[in-house]
Amino acid sequence: LEVRETRDERTLLEQILHPRNPPRISTRDSLITLKLRPDGSNLEDALRPVTEYTGRRPPEPESMHSQGATLRVIDTVSGETTEWRDADLKITRPPSYSDPNTLELSVHPANGPAGAVLAVHAQWNEISGAAFGDLHVEVEGQGLPLADLKPLIRRVASDHLLCDCQLTGHAQLTLEADLPEGLSKSPAGQASGSLQLSEVSLSLPQLLGEDRFQSAASSLAFDAAMACSQLELRSLEVRSEGVTASGKGTVTTGDQPGAVIAPVSLSGQIDLAQMARKLPHTFQGADRPQLESGEFIFRLDGQPPSTKTTGSRWTLTAGTPLIRATLPNGEAVEWKSPIDVSVAIQQQAGEWR
């Protein structure tokens, strides 16, 4: 951490007359260097003694304002460096507990297009027994480069298939969340958001081999709520080139997860021929049929208990109504319903049958 200028915005007279009042800190042109390793980071190393300290702590500042800061992220495995510049961060903690704390953040990716920005607004109250009580968060991002996520992906997924991924493209996102109990052990609240991806290119050598998945446009939108060990999915929409899905419903998340409270429906379809063209080494080859057309359609339904059933009932149907392909010898063929799956599961006395 390098700081060019640090100030306490309290006047000299205020410091003399009210020496116990918390400071109001402001900084300019800071440089924060974050070095990410598969097993941790220099930030985690620095914060560990602070989080483990149980003694008396100094008073926290009433406000902190950092302007013109730069965040430099270094991937210690690949040596790649990304930067987020012109960060403006302001945190305010009013002396009165009746007033909410606030956080305002805006930062610009150095590798993003003109106008690219990530903005965060949050406010919360101090509630005994809850971290960030009555938390409200709003996030908005424009033109965010997906390539900047690679060091973070390597950090959180060092033992998974994602650790060797290559990801490019840009993202636009919105998120709004309200958590009345804050970040407690039993979170409750609601959240909604959307994500639009453009010109995405993704390679996963351990999963896709030589193939690289590419999509000009993909999107996701959701609206959900959680309370009393229940998850309510009010709406879910996923769209990409060759893939669509939607869903809604309410299920339990407690001791008996998966019990249906309100009817659940999740359905979608995948254009197999388009996926085969996008991933030729995975789906096709010189000695394999070349898919010309065909769709994989699936639907998952959940029904709550009724007068006729004592537990939740789940049904899954999936299949391909018609597939057309060309064999290696040039012959055109078609298969009607080559895949047709139907499964039903009943929950009774806490068991699935």
pLDDT values of the chain reduced to their tens digit, one per residue, 353 residues: 677 777 777 777 777 777 767 777 888 888 989 888 878 888 888 777 766 666 665 566 667 888 999 999 888 888 888 999 999 999 888 776 677 889 999 999 998 999 999 999 999 887 654 456 788 999 999 999 999 888 877 777 655 666 677 889 999 999 999 988 776 666 789 999 999 999 999 988 888 888 999 999 999 999 999 988 899 999 999 999 999 999 999 999 877 788 889 999 999 999 999 999 898 888 877 788 888 999 999 999 999 988 777 788 999 999 999 999 999 888 999 999 888 999 999 887 667 77
Contact by Cβ (8 Å): 315, 343: yes
245 CA to centre of own chain: 18
Strands 63-75 and 31-37 turn out to be: parallel
| Bridge partners, residue 201, by sequence | 168, 214
Supply the DSSP string of 260-318, one letter for each residue.
Answer: EEEEEEEEEEEEHHHHHHHSHHHH--TTS-EEEEEEEEEEEEEE---SS-SS-EEEEEE
CA distance 52 to 63: 24
Q: How far apart are CA 303 and CA 299, in angstroms?
A: 13
pTM of the model: 0.82
Cβ neighbours of residue 123 under 8 Å, at least 6 residues apart? 100, 101, 102, 103, 135, 136
How many beta carbons lie within 10 A of that of residue 251, not counting itself?
21
Question: Tell me, what DSSP letter sits at residue 221?
Answer: E
**What phi and psi values does residue 50 have, to the nearest 5 degrees?**
-70, -45
Sign of the alpha-carbon torsion through 30, 25, 177, 162:
positive
